């Protein structure tokens, strides 16, 4: 198995990025990097002269995965009982198990073990929606909250293996509730507190959850969100639910027949609760991913493997140092919030920010005012948020002191060059690494990322570049054959196994196999397409289901968007396909401009088509370009492309649920604009 994981094209790649304007020889660049130190060191390997460079350790992680991961697991996690088998994996069958025989508890690793040394240090900074206000929670205070909620849940009959639905705003109570579930062995299922009652009910029912933890209301962007009202509507459709705990966020009084005040019930309980001993492969949590069609998938993650991978990636991707303040602004309802707001930072004894608001409330300086006030060393956000803020201009950034920042992370859709450069040069002042990461709910943590690397290795815009330790990417063609060499494209797969991998789709393992392992036997299939550059780096080309087939030519939508976004007046864009009588599929580009613009729209549209023709091909030119007031996005910043596809296909009556959108009104504006410009028929 170890030899099959050895990807020569990856290991032998040059570890320095080459800018297009400076085409250095790969051999020379490799030589330059050979003696540079690691961007983040491994104390476990400091006495091994053969494991001192990034390439040496990366190669070791692929060729000796048992030794690599077992060493780190024993060094970095606290075990109640040591494991006796490092792994039992068969990637062809989608059978993944790590650290068998071991026992541990996630809450102990995230909280208890830090109490002696970091007990009075800040664990959580709650950046509340109210502008300029925050609350600090120490590790000791977090421990008390976790234990009280643990005892509360046990008192009400919640036991090991039960699923608990959490529908809360990003807040200390939400993090304590997640860790309380982990402490008693319950499986938490956090649902983004922006989903509709129908979406929440579907997730509660699929998980067969008997317990729901929510709040009276959420607060976001100065608006109150009636969370309890949504839960009441959901629970009316969920006979499995026996109890609902309600946290007082705003003081809005609500009470149903199965309701309990979380605040009052917590106050009755002791702040001491013995942790449940969990087997390594016991589920820690499940998290639903929602596709454009079909039933949501409850992705289930194990305890030990997930914890180790979240901890490792947060430490080594961001070069995190104890005492720094880590500002991941994702909502806890998404995997980014799980791995890089909660588990990764707390496992590393970090101070982590809980961001309750949105990036433009009260104005577009929100992130940067917070950075100055909290003196953040790290920022981790989405490309969509970046493009939205870029559109608002530099002044909202430059009027705040950002000198504390050291690393600038990005996660979500591919990061275009203009946004990358703005992030690096305006936000970071050219001082900070921009770390554009690729990973998924299913991978548990970051898989492809510019860091770790050799110290000072260049970072190229528009690509995550390097695989993380233990990750062996492979590009696979339509016949299921691996595409070797550089300057090639294919389906992005991973042919190694790693501890953070998801274990199943809850209640439907066959769907899990069909989705991730059957399409390309012997590989984990990500669903994304990618390009391996001439220098051996990885660039994401977009979802495989976002690939257009225009007159027999396959095009990634992200490739076209990257060109459009480079035009100086364009803030962001989204490209989708639509039925075309002649070409099979036409190209429709929705383009959002930055504030005021001087160029007439018809001239701008022609310029955009010309740019695409020059940089990709004539067949990649958009047939239709709509200058839209905005794009339909979820509150986490994800563009809802299924809505745009329906608009492009003249099917506005089939838009589906828009309740998760940050601003649903933008959909009506887009539909109206489309009908005004292109009419009902194309």
Q: Label residue 558 exposed, middle or buried (CB < 10 Å: 0-12, 13-18, 19+).
A: buried
Contact 409, 318 (CB under 8 A): yes
CA nearest to 444, candidates 349, 517, 524: 524
Phi-psi region of 292 (alpha: psi -120 to 50; beta: other; left: phi over 0): alpha
Contact 77, 109 (CB under 8 A): yes
CA nearest to 89, candidates 494, 519, 473: 494
Taking the CB of residue 551, how many other CB atoms lie within 10 A of it? 11
CA nearest to 94, candidates 503, 507, 506: 503
pLDDT digit string, tens, across residues 334-387: 999 999 999 999 999 999 999 999 999 999 999 999 999 999 999 999 887 898
**Cα separation, 130 vs 153, whole angstroms:** 30
Beta bridge pairs of residue 288: 298
- What tokens does 605 get? 């549209």
- Grouping H, G, I as helix, E, B as strand and the rest as coil, residue 123 is strand
* For the chain, the helix, strand and coil percentages under 3-state DSSP, each to the nearest 5: 35, 25, 40
Q: What phi and psi values does residue 219 have, to the nearest 5 degrees? A: -130, 125
- Grouping H, G, I as helix, E, B as strand and the rest as coil, residue 668 is helix
Residue 408 is predicted with a pLDDT of 98
Q: E strands along 544-641, which residues?
A: 547-550, 553-556, 570-580, 584-593, 624-627
Q: What phi and psi values does residue 485 have, to the nearest 5 degrees? A: 80, -175
Q: Label residue 32 exposed, middle or buried (CB < 10 Å: 0-12, 13-18, 19+).
A: middle
Spatial CB neighbours of 592, under 8 Å, sequence gap ≥ 6:
391, 570, 571, 572, 573, 627, 628, 629, 630, 631
Taking 70 as the pLDDT cut, the residues of the chain under it are: 1-35, 254, 290-295, 549, 551-554, 635-636, 659-660, 680-682
423-431 long-range contacts (CB < 8 A, ≥24 apart) are: 423/386, 424/461, 426/394, 426/397, 426/398, 427/368, 427/379, 427/397, 427/402, 428/402, 429/402, 429/403, 431/405, 431/406
Q: What is the DSSP letter of 425?
A: I
- Grouping H, G, I as helix, E, B as strand and the rest as coil, residue 203 is helix
CA nearest to 107, candidates 297, 360, 303: 303
Q: Label residue 293 exposed, middle or buried (CB < 10 Å: 0-12, 13-18, 19+).
A: exposed
- What tokens does 587 get? 């190209």
**Cα separation, 162 vs 283, whole angstroms:** 10
pTM of the predicted structure, to 2 decimals: 0.83
Residue 541 is predicted with a pLDDT of 85
CA nearest to 462, candidates 615, 624, 326, 329: 615
CA nearest to 531, candidates 458, 469, 480, 462: 462
Spatial CB neighbours of 80, under 8 Å, sequence gap ≥ 6:
103, 104, 105, 108, 277
Contact 435, 317 (CB under 8 A): yes
Residue 620 is predicted with a pLDDT of 85
Contact 293, 381 (CB under 8 A): no
Helices (H) and strands (E) in the chain, counts: 24, 31
Compute CA 106 distance to the chain's CA centroid, rounded to the nearest angstrom. 20
Give the position of tokens 């390594």: 280
- What tokens does 577 get? 């396909």
**Cα separation, 357 vs 360, whole angstroms:** 9
**Cα separation, 214 vs 331, whole angstroms:** 15
Tell me how long the chain is. Answer: 682
Name the pairing type of β-strands 433-437 and 325-328.
unpaired
What are the start-end ranges of the H helices in 161-285? 172-184, 197-207, 227-235, 262-267
Q: Which secondary structure element, helix H or strand E, spans residue 167, and what is its range?
A: strand 163-167
Residue 10 is predicted with a pLDDT of 33
- Grouping H, G, I as helix, E, B as strand and the rest as coil, residue 407 is strand
DSSP string, 273-334: -PPPPEETTSEEEEEEE--SSSPPEEEEEESHHHHHHHHHHHHHHTT--TT-EEEE---TTS
- What tokens does 162 get? 């039960």
- What tokens does 73 get? 């697991």
In sign, the C-alpha dihedral spanning 371, 375, 379, 381 is negative
Name the pairing type of β-strands 547-550 and 553-556.
antiparallel
In sign, the C-alpha dihedral spanning 215, 220, 222, 227 is negative
- Grouping H, G, I as helix, E, B as strand and the rest as coil, residue 404 is coil
Residue 546 is predicted with a pLDDT of 73
Residue 156 is predicted with a pLDDT of 98
In sign, the C-alpha dihedral spanning 11, 15, 21, 22 is negative
């Amino acid at each position: 198995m170890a030899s099959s994981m050895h990807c020569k094209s990856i290991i032998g790649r040059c570890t320095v990025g080459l800018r297009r304007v400076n085409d250095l020889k790969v051999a020379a660049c490799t030589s330059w990097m050979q003696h540079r130190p690691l961007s983040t060191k491994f104390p476990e390997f400091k006495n091994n002269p053969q494991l001192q460079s990034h390439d040496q350790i990366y190669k070791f992680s692929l060729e000796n995965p048992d030794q690599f991961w077992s060493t780190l697991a024993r060094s970095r996690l606290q075990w109640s009982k040591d494991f006796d088998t490092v792994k039992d994996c068969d990637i062809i069958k989608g059978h993944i198990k790590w650290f068998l025989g071991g026992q541990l508890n996630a809450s102990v690793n995230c909280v208890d073990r830090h109490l002696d040394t970091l007990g009075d240090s800040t664990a959580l900074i709650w950046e509340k929606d109210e502008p300029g206000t925050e609350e600090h929670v120490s590790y000791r205070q977090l421990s008390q909250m976790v234990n009280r909620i643990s005892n509360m849940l046990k008192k009400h009959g919640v036991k090991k293996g039960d699923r608990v639905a959490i529908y809360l705003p990003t807040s200390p109570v939400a993090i304590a509730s997640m860790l309380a579930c982990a402490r008693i062995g319950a499986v938490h299922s956090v649902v983004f507190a922006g989903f509709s009652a129908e979406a929440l009910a579907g997730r509660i029912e699929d998980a067969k959850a008997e317990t729901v933890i929510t709040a009276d209301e959420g607060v976001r962007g100065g608006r109150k969100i009636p969370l309890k009202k949504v839960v009441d509507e959901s629970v009316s459709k969920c006979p499995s639910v026996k109890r609902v705990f309600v946290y007082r966020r705003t003081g809005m009084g609500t009470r149903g027949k199965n309701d309990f005040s979380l605040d009052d019930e917590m106050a009755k309980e002791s702040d001491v609760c013995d942790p449940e001993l969990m087997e390594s492969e016991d589920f820690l949590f499940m998290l639903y991913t929602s596709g454009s069609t079909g039933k949501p998938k409850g992705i289930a993650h194990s305890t030990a493997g997930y914890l180790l991978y979240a901890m490792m990636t947060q430490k080594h991707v961001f070069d995190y140092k104890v005492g720094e303040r880590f500002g991941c602004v994702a909502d806890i309802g998404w995997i980014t919030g799980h791995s890089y707001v909660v588990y990764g930072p707390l496992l590393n004894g970090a101070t982590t920010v809980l961001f309750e608001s949105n990036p433009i409330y009260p104005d577009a300086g929100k992130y940067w005012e917070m950075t100055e006030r909290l003196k953040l060393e790290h920022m981790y956000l989405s490309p969509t948020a970046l493009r939205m803020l870029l559109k608002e201009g530099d002044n909202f950034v430059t009027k705040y002191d950002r000198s504390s920042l050291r690393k600038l992370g990005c996660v979500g859709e591919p990061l275009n060059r203009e946004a990358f450069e703005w992030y690096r040069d305006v936000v970071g002042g050219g001082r900070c690494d921009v770390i554009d990461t690729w990973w998924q709910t299913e991978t548990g943590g970051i898989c492809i990322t510019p860091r770790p690397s050799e110290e000072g290795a260049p970072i190229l815009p528009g690509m995550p570049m390097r695989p993380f330790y233990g990750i062996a990417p492979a590009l696979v063609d339509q016949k299921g054959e691996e595409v070797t060499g550089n300057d090639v494209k294919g389906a992005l797969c991973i042919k190694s196994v790693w501890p953070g991998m998801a274990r199943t789709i809850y209640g439907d393992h066959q769907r899990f196999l069909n989705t991730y392992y059957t399409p390309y036997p012997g590989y984990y299939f990500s669903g994304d397409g990618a390009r391996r550059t001439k220098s051996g780096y990885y660039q994401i080309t977009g979802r495989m289901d976002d690939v257009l087939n225009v007159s027999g030519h396959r095009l990634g939508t992200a490739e076209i968007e990257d060109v459009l976004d480079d035009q100086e007046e364009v803030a962001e864009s989204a490209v989708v396909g639509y039925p075309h009588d002649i070409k099979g599929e036409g190209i429709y580009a929705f383009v959002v401009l930055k504030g005021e613009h001087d160029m007439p729209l018809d001239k701008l549209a022609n310029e955009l088509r010309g740019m695409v023709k020059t940089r990709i091909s004539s067949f990649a030119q958009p047939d239709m370009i709509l200058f839209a007031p905005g794009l339909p996005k979820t509150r986490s910043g994800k563009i809802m492309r299924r809505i745009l596809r329906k608009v492009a296909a003249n099917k506005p009556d089939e838009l589906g649920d828009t309740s998760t959108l940050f601003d649903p009104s933008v959909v009506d504006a887009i539909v109206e604009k489309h009908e005004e410009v292109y009419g009902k028929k194309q």
